[in-house]
Structure 1
Amino acid sequence: MFNSCFLQKGSHGNSKSRQLLIKSAETDSGNTSSLTHYVFGLLHLIVSLGLFLALDQFLKKAFVAAAIKFPSALFGMFCIFSVLIILDITVPPAAKALVNFFEPAFLFIQRWLPLFYVPSLVVLPLSVKDIPAASGIKICLIVVGGWLATLCVAGYTAIAVRKAVKTQLVDAEPMGKPSPFSTVEVWTWSGVLLSSFVSALYYPTLLGTSARTCLPFLLASTVLGYIVGSGLPSNVKKVFHPIICCALSAVLTAFAFGYFSKLGLDPVLGYYLTKVSADPGAGDILMGFLGSVILSFSFSMFKQRKLVKRHAAEIFTSVIISTIFSLYSTALVGRLLQLEPSLTVSILPRCITVALALSIVSLFEGANPSLTAAVVVVTGLVGANFVQATLDKLRFSDPIARGIATAS
């Protein structure tokens, strides 16, 4: 009897032990699988993003060597888009595989996109330092008034073309969404900010130069500002856009470092955006992605190729007319307001994305690229904050017209 009970208990105990071992093995297997998946995902991101950056650098060097003034990233974008279209027609699985391969890089760029435009706002105090107040007011009038005028031109052109072609609207293809920011990211960047800030105070040339030593905490402050700004309530974002929060965070950090190190604000902002490839600052690192941003647009266009093809007349007509209007109206109003020619030239491409705007102003003598970038970003901020309300006031109900007007 005793032996029987003992054997039963022993058998029951062994069964429990086996179950625990199986569960433990499954947990270990799951953890290993998750870790492997994470590592491969990270490697996939690094390779795909690295190819974007490498292609951008290759095209830049090739265009410089060939003395070609056309924006290299724009050429690359059209090339990638053309390759995708050709593959989609001839070997559809290959086109899909190519899109899937670059998807991690595409989502990374989409997730951090506003960061790449921020440096021009951060160094705005340096950009406008030598601009007279009267000229600054004129620039503000041109930016705000020009934004509204260009929006109207783009919107009404789209409506007119849509009435002419009478194309039925189709839904856009669903796009992948970047992952939300995590608490781990916040704490990690906070740690980088604090540790590098303190070390830079005590060892100003710890990483070789002042710019490189300041890079970690200035970059961390920019990233943290964006993460915090992105988490604000939607009604707050209408006034306090994440880009503003991002730029303000970087400027305040630069001010704090300038105060404690006795350097002052201007030198630290100079470390933020050095424009020297051998001695980059945080802003140089971020703006280094601008070419890749343009290249990534090729995948956006490819994913929405059916929509673009169906509404090509509205899209291309509106974009071309509104762009020409924006450039020439800016030049005309600048002349009428007697704005300095160099400043007028600098703000000409105010409605074009930063990377292309910088390429355009590089064609002109005496232009201020920093001012160009700042004006483009400010125009975008004005649009982000007021475009929906303005479109409602103008009674633009057509989705295509609203989309084109917003993009203008």
Structure 2
Amino acid sequence: MKLVIFAVCVAATLASYLATRALFMRFRQPLLNPVFLSTLVIIAALKATGATLADYQPAKEAMTFLLGPATVALALPLYNNRQVLKSQALPVLAGVLSGSLATIAAVLWAGWVAGFARGILISLGPKSVTVPIAVEIARLSGGEPPLTAAFVVATGMIGSILGPALLTALRVKDPVARGLALGTVSHGQGTAVALLEGETAGAMGGVAMALAAVFTALVAPYYLPLLLP
């Protein structure tokens, strides 16, 4: 019985993602973002069938395990676009590093204006890098790792939904710039949306995601205290 539930959950998740991805590719509307919309579909399906999160957990863990191979697979579009990266290596590096610093400063300023406590601000600071790195930064800096994990997921979701539309509104058309922006600010989810725009944007998103994670891990423990009140 458990195997049947597992198979149904995996199949339902895959079907919902493929369906919502097809909708997104056809209409290109931000709220049709595949990750966002397929999540809503799965939540609705679980509630409608009376299934619990515990029932879905084994399938979630199996699919989450595939994030590792999927991340490694980003090497292929990067290899195919290696000449682009070589020719623009300095602007790429400068953009990612300055973007990483700017997004931390911007969110801390917004949190300070909103009156957030110091612990919440620390937890919010590393929200633009992948969860394992962000929660460790929060732990070392005195923040709350579970809260940081929630901020990271929310950042990826919001950035992947609104990021492409915002870049288009700002007339940013270059796939290199779009991929770098999405990968720097919205980590894996931003990179996934960049891949939907094209191989070059996806490759640059992968580069930005990796560089931003390494750079933030190195500087955040020293940079955060400088910005906090």
TM (normalized to structure 1)?
Answer: 0.39
Residues 2-401 of structure 1 mapped to structure 2, 5 A cutoff:
206-207=1-2, 214-232=5-23, 234-235=26-27, 237-258=29-50, 268-273=52-57, 281-352=58-129, 356-365=130-139, 366-368=144-146, 369-384=149-164, 386-392=165-171, 396=172, 400-401=176-177
Shift of 1:325: 1.3
> 1:272 corresponds to which letter in structure 2?
Y
Tell me what 2:201 maps to: none
SS of the aligned residue for 1:362 comes to: helix
> 1:239 corresponds to which letter in structure 2?
L
Residues 297 and 245 of structure 1: CA distance in aligned 2, closer, same or farther (over 3 Å): same
Shift of 1:402: 4.1
Tell me what 2:209 maps to: none
> 1:311 corresponds to which letter in structure 2?
Q
Deviations 1:180-201, CA, capped at 9 Å, x for gaps: xxxxxxxxxxxxxxxxxxxxxx
> 2:110 corresponds to which letter in structure 1?
V
Q: CA RMSD in A?
A: 2.7
Tell me the distance in 2 between the aligned counterparts of 1:270 and 1:371.
23
SS of the aligned residue for 2:145 comes to: coil
User: Within the alignment, does 1:405 sit opposite 2:217 as a pair?
Assistant: no
Shift of 1:314: 0.9
Greater CA radius of gyration, 1 or 2?
1
> 1:391 corresponds to which letter in structure 2?
L
Tell me the distance in 2 between the aligned counterparts of 1:380 and 1:330.
17
Deviations 1:107-131, CA, capped at 9 Å, x for gaps: xxxxxxxxxxxxxxxxxxxxxxxxx
Residues 297 and 214 of structure 1: CA distance in aligned 2, closer, same or farther (over 3 Å): same
Tell me what 2:213 maps to: none
Q: Is 1:229–1:242's contact at 8 Å kept on the other side of the alignment?
A: yes
Tell me the distance in 1 between the aligned counterparts of 2:121 and 2:8.
35
Q: Is 1:229–1:241's contact at 8 Å kept on the other side of the alignment?
A: yes
Tell me what 2:211 maps to: none
SS of the aligned residue for 2:116 comes to: coil
> 2:169 corresponds to which letter in structure 1?
T
- The answer for unaligned runs of 5 or more in structure 1 is 1-205, 262-267, 274-280
Tell me what 1:77 maps to: none
Q: Relative contact order, CA 8 A, sep 6+: which one is greater? A: 1
Deviations 1:244-281, CA, capped at 9 Å, x for gaps: 331122111110122xx7xxxxxx124434xxxxxxx2
Deviations 1:209-266, CA, capped at 9 Å, x for gaps: xxx66433222221111111122263264432222331122111110122xx7xxxxx
SS of the aligned residue for 2:92 comes to: helix
Residues 306 and 361 of structure 1: CA distance in aligned 2, closer, same or farther (over 3 Å): same
Residues 216 and 399 of structure 1: CA distance in aligned 2, closer, same or farther (over 3 Å): closer
Shift of 1:334: 1.8
> 2:181 corresponds to which letter in structure 1?
A
Shift of 1:371: 4.3
Shift of 1:374: 3.4
Tell me the distance in 1 between the aligned counterparts of 2:116 and 2:80.
42
Q: Is 2:30–2:162's contact at 8 Å kept on the other side of the alignment?
A: no
Higher helix share: 2
Residues 374 and 238 of structure 1: CA distance in aligned 2, closer, same or farther (over 3 Å): closer
Tell me the distance in 2 between the aligned counterparts of 1:407 and 1:387.
14
Shift of 1:309: 0.7
Q: Is 1:357–1:372's contact at 8 Å kept on the other side of the alignment?
A: yes
Tell me the distance in 2 between the aligned counterparts of 1:315 and 1:237.
28
Residues 357 and 398 of structure 1: CA distance in aligned 2, closer, same or farther (over 3 Å): same
Shift of 1:346: 4.1
Shift of 1:370: 4.1
Q: Is 1:387–1:406's contact at 8 Å kept on the other side of the alignment?
A: no
Q: Is 2:127–2:155's contact at 8 Å kept on the other side of the alignment?
A: yes
SS of the aligned residue for 2:32 comes to: coil
Tell me the distance in 2 between the aligned counterparts of 1:342 and 1:255.
34
Tell me the distance in 2 between the aligned counterparts of 1:240 and 1:343.
31
Shift of 1:337: 1.7
